[in-house]
């Protein structure tokens, strides 16, 4: 059974810092991995999706890497801003392609001005 763990559970940083959020999964036979952002009272916004054959994806100040063999992914946020404050969720789809997403509990990020 796939399990996804996110570390840290919460993170507070001053504006401008570069930061890394970590995600690990127990079964390396994944189909893809997706990073989401959730704002309070809102739904999930997809940030980046990495297919199992890819090593990383970039979107603006965000960069997500995937090391499938070690069961790890990182989300790197450059030059953090107060607007980045949210909960960041990591989710994996297992290798069968037919299964759905298994989520971690998320990392709650607070970027202070």
Pick 4 or 80: Cβ nearer other proteins:
4
- Cα distances (angstroms) measured from residue 73 to each of 16, 43, 63, 106, 113: 23, 22, 10, 13, 28
Can you say how many angstroms the Cα of residue 61 is from the centroid of all Cα atoms in its chain?
A: 14
Pick 18 or 51: Cβ nearer other proteins:
51
Determine which residue in the list 8, 29, 42, 59 makes contact with other proteins, applying CB under 8 A. Answer: 42
Q: Is 104 in the site for other proteins (CB under 8 A)?
A: yes
Q: Is 61 in the site for other proteins (CB under 8 A)?
A: no
Which residues of this protein are in contact with other proteins, per CB under 8 A?
4, 31, 34, 36, 41-46, 49, 51, 89, 91, 93, 97-106
């Amino acid at each position: 059974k796939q399990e996804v763990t996110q570390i840290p559970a919460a993170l507070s940083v001053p504006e401008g810092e570069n930061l890394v959020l970590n995600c690990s999964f127990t079964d390396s036979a994944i189909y893809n991995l997706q990073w989401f952002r959730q704002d309070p009272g809102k739904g999930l916004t997809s940030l980046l999706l990495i297919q199992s054959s890819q090593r990383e994806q970039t979107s603006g100040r965000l960069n997500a890497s995937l090391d499938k063999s070690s069961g790890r992914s990182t989300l790197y946020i450059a030059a953090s801003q107060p607007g980045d404050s949210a909960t960041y969720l990591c989710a994996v789809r297992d290798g069968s392609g037919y299964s759905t997403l298994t989520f971690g509990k998320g990392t709650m990020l607070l970027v202070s001005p």
